[in-house]
Amino acid sequence: MLANKNVLLIVSGGIAAEKIPELISKLTSRGCKIRCILTNSGSKFISTDELTKLTRQPTYQEMFFKNKNDKMEHIYLSREADLILVAPATANIIAKIANGIADDLASTTLLANDKPIFIAPSMNVMMWRNHATQVNIKKILEQRVIPIGPESGLLACGEIGEGRMSEPETIVKYIENYFQKSSDLKSLSGHKIIVTSGPTQEPIDPVRFISNRSSGKQGYLIAHTLSKFGAEVVLISGPTSETYPKDIKIIKVETAEEMLEASISELPSSVFISVAAVSDWRVESVPLNKIKKNKMNEINLTLTRNPDILSCVSKAGSLRPNLVIGFSAETENVIKNSKIKLEEKGCDWIVANDVSDGFGHNTNQVHIITKNNIDAWPKLEKSEVALKLSQLIDNFLEKQNNAT
């Protein structure tokens, strides 16, 4: 799995740097190409010459160019890599990753990076347990940085506890497993999947609107994960502060009517997933100018129903996707109301979501409801919900393909 893979190895300043020659040897023996960035602190434990000899590639350390025609290392080193590995990862560099600090070549490259980041923490047990370090670990997990270890045992300082950098063989296995899963996650190649996400905004006048509290986070994670499975993903998004997933077609909309138009125009597709929290109502007549308050104590708005996007796609005739999935955000009678929605909309699955405690959380507890089954999932990170749902979709399409 490592043959012809490019790994950018960042070596920071810890005594565990003595394990780096063995780590490089194990990676290169499997056909992996290694480039190294060495921090100034790291150079106290291993030299650029040794790393260059081991990798047969230049070792990078300087942030600023000696020649204006030189490449921008912090950009091209991450772009040519398939994965970045920080080993050893000291408390200092973990803090930099967590807080977006970019004050040397290593930290600037990590901030300018668009590839998966693995870290192999290495530090004293009390440094590892320190509240600040644990806060930083939580932050980097939210950034989808993947930690390998640390392990418990006798530390270089003579104390015993967590903080040992994982052994080179363990690190290599993590990396191999990552590339193995990446290879497996191309099973949706050839399938187009449309995902709607975020809220809609229905204008009251040119400066006011009706909307809801949807963050768009779950829909964005689903779109991102399906893309990793190899699907051609179209994300139709209402206004949100979420970062747009890379390598995905994004269609930005505001109103329900715009979202419906975009959804129908993107058909046909294999799958349609309606994650968006679409406003049920819109103002019937929107004035051209801002409504002035003057001395009015109240204002009457005449509302009219918005188009039902999920129902329209479910009943799209020959353009109907093979699998139509709706999301149901409920504050009470979650299962009952979601089963009614499944029947009324004519979709295949409903992902029932209890939002009685509000929107915008990083976790979700959902039920997958079909005509013949209800599958209750435990409370999961939204990224885990996205992964499990993507796997279900993959299994459905595979069975359907085998049946034909």
Active site (catalytic) residues: 157
* Closest to 231 measured CA to CA, from 186, 266, 290: 186
Q: Output the CA–CA distances (angstroms, integers) from residue 169 to 22, 34, 172, in the order listed.
A: 9, 16, 5
* Closest to 331 measured CA to CA, from 373, 359, 371: 359
- How far apart CA 156 and CA 72 sit, in angstroms, is 37
Buried (b) or exposed (e) across 212-230, using 16+ Cβ within 10 A?
A: bebbbbbbbbbbbbbbbbb
Task: State the DSSP H helix or E strand holding residue 76, giving kind and residue range, or none if neither.
Answer: helix 73-80
DSSP sequence for 209-226: EE------HHHHHHHHHH
| Helix pair 217-228, 382-403: axis angle to 10 deg | 50
CB atoms within 10 A of CB 42: 25
> Kind of pairing, strands 303-305 and 281-283?
antiparallel
